[in-house]
Amino acid sequence: MAIDALNILYASIMAAANDVTHKDAGLDNAAPRDAILKTTDEDNKTCNLEGTILKDAISTPESKPAKSSSRTENAPSNESSKDGTPKKVLEAVSKHNAIMPRLLEVQHAQIAITYEENRIRDYHRAGIVKVQELRRLRAIAREKRLKYKHISRSLIRRVAHKLTNQSKEFKSMVEKQKSEYLDALSKQQAAERNIKWFKDAIADAKRKIEELKPLKKEYLELKLELDNVFHEAFEDSGDVYPEEDQIKIAVKNNEDWYREARLQAEIDRAAYKSMKDARSAIQKAVEWCKAVQRFSFLDLLRPQPLTEIMDRDKIHRAQDSFEDAERLLTQACHLQKEIGPFANVVHVILSGYELEDIMFRDVNWFCSMSYRDRLDDLTTRMEALQAQVVSETQEQNRRVAASELTVIRARAALEEAVQELDQLRLGIFEGIAPRSYGPEPPGIDDDPPPPPPPPPPPLIPYSELFPDPRTESELGQEPQRRPISRWDTTEPTQGTFNFENSGKFVAWGLKNGKKFRGHTLVWHSQLPSWVTSGTWNTTTLTAALVNHVTTVATHFKGKMMHWDVVNEPFNEDGTFRSSIFYQILGDSYIETALRAAAAADPVAKLYINDYNIEGVNAKSTAMLNLFKRLKAAKVQVHGIGVQGHLISGQVPTDIDVNFNRMVAAGAEVAITELDIRMAVPPVNQTAAYAQQATEYAAVTNACKVTGRCVGITLWDFTDKNSWIPSVFPGQGDALPWDVNYQKKPAYYGMARTLKP
């Protein structure tokens, strides 16, 4: 708008100048003035024209021809300058000179406007190009929409389902990694606590050794005094015994010493009851070994020097190394087996060696009993020492050991016979026939055959047991995800028990002639938060454990054939799993749970159950040793549960060997959770299923040929409900029936093996 105003002002000024100049110069004043506003080129032409007019006006004479005089006379007179230039021309020139700078500014503005208009045109062209590109992209998108519109919805659903499964697998993997991290963190915290307790235990052990030294010295003085009394008495009276009151005094002195020893044993026993880790007891054993080295009592029993038997440097290094301590303890136990049992070193104890030496000398109870029970047994043995001083030879020890082995084997044979009678009378598990012994000789049983048993009660449908239709669907689709007998479902809050679903299920099963295996009373997994996050000590956790086991076992008393009392107590290397129970109570929680279960349900067989113990390995050996220790401690435990979660192509070949050594120790064996998984889909399904059938047959046969393998339980029966795919992605097909409830070769492999 400003530029237009300047153009108009400039045009008016130039029009006035033209008017004056044209009149004076005799020119027509009808020049087109509006042309000045059209373009910049026209403005320049106008400027040139004006300059020409001004020049002509200045050079024209004052007077004109006579023909114009009349018009001049009528017009107003024009004044002239000294040089004859008309005044209006001068004014026009002055105005022209004044307006020229503005005219230049206007020209510059016109140039800028032209430049901006060109830029706008360029932008407009670019916008047109972009609009065309956008239209092209829209056309491509329209074509793609039309193309993808024809994709089937089922394919989209399958892709969405696959993505959902991948999301679930990733979530499961994250949860697993989180669980492993928390487990590792828990182990680290437990290790830190154990290290602190370990240091305190060493200091306490050293203090106790120092406290025992005055007691030993006092005993030696009393013994010397007693010897002097006897010596003086025999010197004074020949063959006459010392007076009765002197004998009583000597006996009383001995009783006082033993009373002090028992008091110290009680103190040590209280200390051991607070142990949280068995490795601390190993360090205690190292201290005992050092005491043994100090007194050199082994030199009294065999001529071989102590330095050749036990390396002193290893004893010293064992203070800083658990592994050296374990090896040293094992070596000490082997030495005791060579030297002999407790009777051979009684005279060494009576010679005044320290009380702790007793705990090291007797391999029969030191190397086999649990750590916290050793001091209990020590008290009993100290009482026996007052009246027993015996010496047996190595041959006598071997005879005793052979006699004990004979008794163990006889007891195992007797229990096996009783078990076989139970099998013949009742059977153990459905689908496993009792062992056949061939036809009986004529006349062995003249009694008439018993009447046929009454028909079983009619089966009750699920709908009657569980009126809610969702229950039947859930039980049919995901039974492994509906645990109804584990700690977090039976006792979700402390002291509050819930047996609604489990009670209905057991009642329905018993009414339909089913047999039950209780799984499980104590397990490190699926615990409620009040157990895993509670603040416990030995007393409170023991009370909670006993209350849970007692309540659950009592509720189902007489209804369970077997109870898996303790489930999965071991790590793969044979060490105890660091559960909340082991961290607080040590391995004694297993004995506590078994004793509580036996008291609550004395009819059921009690088992310890674990996985990866099918063949001979460190874990199965640890389970076998635990069973032996429990039997030696008179704990009621009947069998070992072998879960049997196996991988096709990796099934152990020594299952029967492992079962036989368990049976030789007096244990029943049961395969409790059998499935054999494989990679899915298999490359060659026929070959994979054939191998799986062979492996199912081999496992079944290992149980069949073992005298006291009492049954096989499948961990579900159809691949449709198997737990394997959700835990081991890419694996499955682990059971004898497929997802359509059709029998697979594995079924026929088991069936052929079970035939007589």
Distance of CA 7 to the CA centre of its chain: 89
Q: What is the DSSP letter of 57?
A: H
Residues 6+ apart with CB under 8 A from 620: 612, 613, 614, 658
- CB-based contact 744:693 (threshold 8 Å): yes
What are the backbone angles phi and psi of residue 275, rounded to the nearest 5°? Answer: -70, 145
626 is written with which tokens?
Answer: 């635990």
278 is written with which tokens?
Answer: 């068995």
Burial class (CB in 10 A: 0-12, 13-18, 19+), 728: middle
Dist. CA 751–CA 65, nearest whole Å: 148
Between the CA atoms of 477, 483, 485 and 489, what dihedral angle is there, to the nearest 10 degrees?
-130
Q: Of the candidates 752, 661, 738, which has an alpha carbon nearest to the alpha carbon of residue 698?
A: 752
503 is written with which tokens?
Answer: 């009670």
User: How far apart are the two ends of the chain, measured CA to CA in Å?
Assistant: 115
Can you give the three-state secondary structure of 596-658, one letter per residue? HHHHHCCCCEEEEEECCCCCCCHHHHHHHHHHHHHHHCCCCCCEEEECCEEECCCCCCCHHHH
Question: Of 50, 491, 673, 695, which residue is the catalytic one?
Answer: 673
Q: CA angle, corner 350, sides to 349 and 352, nearest 5?
A: 75
Q: CA angle, corner 376, sides to 370 and 381, nearest 5?
A: 110
- CB-based contact 678:738 (threshold 8 Å): no
- To the query of whether residue 673 is one of the catalytic residues in this protein, the response is yes
Question: Of 50, 568, 614, 695, which residue is the catalytic one?
Answer: 568
The secondary structure of the chain in percent helix, strand, coil, rounded to multiples of 5, reads 65, 5, 30
Dist. CA 381–CA 390, nearest whole Å: 13
- HSE at residue 349, side-chain half, CA atoms within 13 A, is 26
Q: What is the DSSP letter of 300?
A: G
Q: What is the DSSP letter of 571?
A: -
410 is written with which tokens?
Answer: 């006889």
Q: Of the candidates 619, 617, 713, which has an alpha carbon nearest to the alpha carbon of residue 669?
A: 713
747 is written with which tokens?
Answer: 């079924």
Q: Of the candidates 515, 631, 507, 526, which has an alpha carbon nearest to the alpha carbon of residue 568?
A: 526
DSSP codes, 86-131:
BHHHHHHHHHHHHHHHHHHHHHHHHHHHHHHHHHHHHHHHHHHHHH
Any idea which residues carry the catalytic annotation? Answer: 568, 673
